[in-house]
Amino acid sequence: MPIGSPPPSVRPSVVGRAGGAAPARVPQQARGRRVRASRRPRAERLAPYVLVAPAVLIIAGLRLYPLALGVNFSFTGDGDRNGQAVGLDNYAVLLDDPLFREAMGNVWLLVLLLPVAVAIPGMLATFIYLRVPGHRFYRSVYFFPAVLSPVIVGAIFNLLLAYDGTVNTVLGAIGLGPVDWLGDPDVAMFAVVGVHVWATFGMALVVFLAGFSTLDSALIDAARIDGASLSQVIRHVIVPGLSRTIQFVFVTTMIGMLTSMFGLLYVMTGGGPEGSTYLPEYYIWIQQGQMNRPALASAASTVLFGVMLVVGLAQIAVLRRAGRED
């Protein structure tokens, strides 16, 4: 055997055919561990989809499928043409109906008032986060209206906003004339929206407080040390830090204003005076429940869904652009 050559028993495992180092043999147990390790990332990637699948199936079965049925039903007729395809006739009827046009006009009024409805709980949550005196008491008081039924809230404010009610009595005591809060077509919608904001802003307040819990307090402390005023802290620190929370509150508040005011409208104004407080959801109930025109109500529901979708996407786009600019 030449000097320096490896023993025959060792040579195959160390020296390859071309003279290079040959890979050592891997035991079966080690190969099994490698296979399990290679499979683990795939299972981890699939886990979120498996966990969210039940919720997606429930939404698809109880929300999206009925929505598709409603859209399809909106192209059928009512009365003598029940079940017959009528194309866009129901939508043409909606465009010719002054009550529906009034309801859609009020939708755009709600869009204009939406920043106020979001700013109120946002500012109150800011003061609570900054621990103003009595912030724990205010936290519970602000949320209290959210637990009341819309019917109860409507009945309370019917008494307060009546022509001879408490609010006008207070106005008369300070020398201001009485206001027909619920009987004046130019005032009634603003009164109902104000009551709705009072009754529901507690939920938005909780969402804002949850967003504040993720905000880095060191940024606020640094801004204060640099001499920033409260308005500057809100504009340059709090608003950018809560951009996603603000987007969520904007969208959910808009959806609530379009779909959760029926109880107040029914108790406080009944859609009046002169249809000035009509909203699409109230119009849908009238067509479905009193006029027995379910296909026309489905068409109005489809229009309402389209409006909410467009407005929600537009709000998110505008808020994202404003966040990038900040």
Domain boundaries, the chain: 93-325
Residue 234: pLDDT over 70:
yes
Residue 34: pLDDT over 80:
no
Burial class (CB in 10 A: 0-12, 13-18, 19+), 311: buried
- What tokens were used for 105? 């006009």
At 172-181, the pLDDT tens digits run 999 888 999 9
What amino acid is encoded at 145 in this protein? P
Mean pLDDT (the chain) is: 84
pTM of the model: 0.77
Topology (CATH level 3) of domain 93-325: MetI-like fold (1.10.3720)
Residue 323: pLDDT over 80:
no
Rounded CA separation 200/114 (Å): 13
At 245-294, the pLDDT tens digits run 988 899 899 988 988 899 999 999 998 888 899 999 999 999 887 788 99
At 121-160, the pLDDT tens digits run 999 998 898 888 888 888 888 988 988 999 999 999 999 9
Provide the 8-state DSSP code for 162: S
Rounded CA separation 15/21 (Å): 5
